[in-house]
Amino acid sequence: MKKRRMDFRVRWSGLEELYEEGKVRAIGVDNFTQDRMADFLFFQKVRPAVNMIECNTYFQREKEAEYLKQQNITMQAWSPLAAGQKNLLEDPVLCEIAKAHEKSVAQIVLHWLVQRGIVPVVKSVNPKRMKENLDIFDFELTADEMERIRQLDTEHSYATSRDTGKAVTEFLEAAMSYQV
């Protein structure tokens, strides 16, 4: 017989309990598109404080950002530098803006997210780059620069999208196989 797996809503109830008992200050989710989020919010007691989704200059998620803002849920961006793919760090527009501000392209992209009200979750194993990635709060991008970056949006993920039933099932089977 097929083993019953624990649905994420059951796990969320556990997190809600911890939140209500004051044992954790905030609880959140990741990879919720707005259709899933609207459904989730309708049935849950505690709203997620954050939703972490893929977002970078080539996949800007404007509609998702707008929806999360309306719902007062903080948007976090995973792979803000597109995980080093798509030559994001060599993009000519970003290089030009970086030069104008005497910053690196990574700093421009991270600041661009912050200026949009989005929290970047960037990964680095290099202490020099970790420091660089935090040094992004001493400049502002102009409206023209924001618009030039907006035009880089391809509206496509660099990562595999899970927008079919087959893709979701395969993802869940792989994810469940890691659980103890």
Ligand X SMILES: NC(=O)c1ccc[n+]([C@@H]2O[C@H](COP(=O)([O-])OP(=O)(O)OC[C@H]3O[C@@H](n4cnc5c(N)ncnc54)[C@H](OP(=O)(O)O)[C@@H]3O)[C@@H](O)[C@H]2O)c1
Least distance between ligand X and beta carbon 52 (Å): 5
Count of residues that interact with ligand X, criterion CB under 6 A:
22
Nearer to ligand X, 122 or 141 (CB): 122
Surface-to-core class of residue 35, CB atoms within 10 Å of its CB (0-12 exposed, 13-18 middle, 19+ buried)? exposed
- How far apart, in whole angstroms, are the C-alpha atoms of residue 167 and residue 46? 29
Sheet of 119-121, strand order? 29-30, 50-54, 74-78, 119-121
Report CA-CA distances (Å) from 137 to 56, 83, 145, 180. Answer: 18, 22, 16, 41
Least distance between ligand X and beta carbon 85 (Å): 8
Residues 112-131 contacting ligand X, CB under 6 A: 121-126, 129
Nearer to ligand X, 20 or 124 (CB): 124
Helix, strand or coil, per DSSP, at residue 128 = helix
Residue 153 near ligand X by CB under 6 A: no
Nearer to ligand X, 28 or 71 (CB): 28
Residues in contact with ligand X by the rule CB under 6 A: 30-31, 52, 78-84, 89, 104, 106, 121-126, 129, 132-133
